[in-house]
Homo-oligomer: A and B are copies of this chain.
Amino acid sequence: MNKVITIGREFGSGGRELGRRLAEELGYEYYDKEIIVEIAKKTSLSEQYVQEIIEKSPHALYPITVAHSFSFVDTYAMKQTQTVFSAQEKVLKEMAEKSNCVIVGRCADVILKDYHPFKIFVYASLDSRVKRCIKRNANTQDLTEKKVRKYIKSIDKGRAKYYSFYTGKKWGNKLNYDIGINTTDIEIKEIIPHLASMIK
């Protein structure tokens, strides 16, 4: 059975960087945005719409262009969400079957539980996440700390709802993960070799 590492992460905590570096160090495949692309292919939905479904609360989603009545909208939105989730399951399982891999987000820790993944959760203080986001988007105009803070919270709220909706578990609850890494005071690239040898 291939080795699978899953990474849950708070927005702005550097979870994606950690995942990418870890995959490089281990020589594993790395899947992140590629998952969205594959789901979009399988469902014929746009990548942007798939992304929205995955990043927001399933209940809150509906394509406003088909809004005839609330009940129709609700049913349609739920159906789309379920279609995306089914495709997501399929895509993740295909990836795990193909080779050793690191998968960021997308409830992979639960969907791939039969592969006994090593489950990491990456998090940090809100202040340090705000700083990281501002640094990452240094050239973006009109980026106030207040806006970033609000955006981080809304993304995390969506992730938590999506995770809880599909897995019945609480997103970020430490018992769902093998290891939790707080990047507030840790330099990600420095811990990668040690983390890699711990998992190998």
Contacts and interface: CB of A to CB of B under 8 A. Distances in A.
Interface of A: 121, 123, 125, 172, 174-175, 177-182, 184-186, 191, 194-195, 197-198
Contact of A182 (B125, B177, B185): B177
Copies of chain A in the complex: 2
Of A178, A195, A197, most B-chain CB atoms within 10 Å: A178
A183 to B, nearest CB: 9
Given A174-B174, A175-B182, A178-B182, 4 more contacts: A121-B174, A175-B184, A178-B184, A197-B197
Contact of A194 (B121, B175, B180, B195): B195
Contacts of A172: 174
Of A123, A175, A186, most B-chain CB atoms within 10 Å: A175
Contacts of A179: 179-182
Nearest to A172: B174
Contacts of A182: 174-175, 177-180
Given A194-B194, A194-B197, A178 B186 contact: yes
A193 to B, nearest CB: 8
Of A182, A185, A186, A191, most B-chain CB atoms within 10 Å: A182
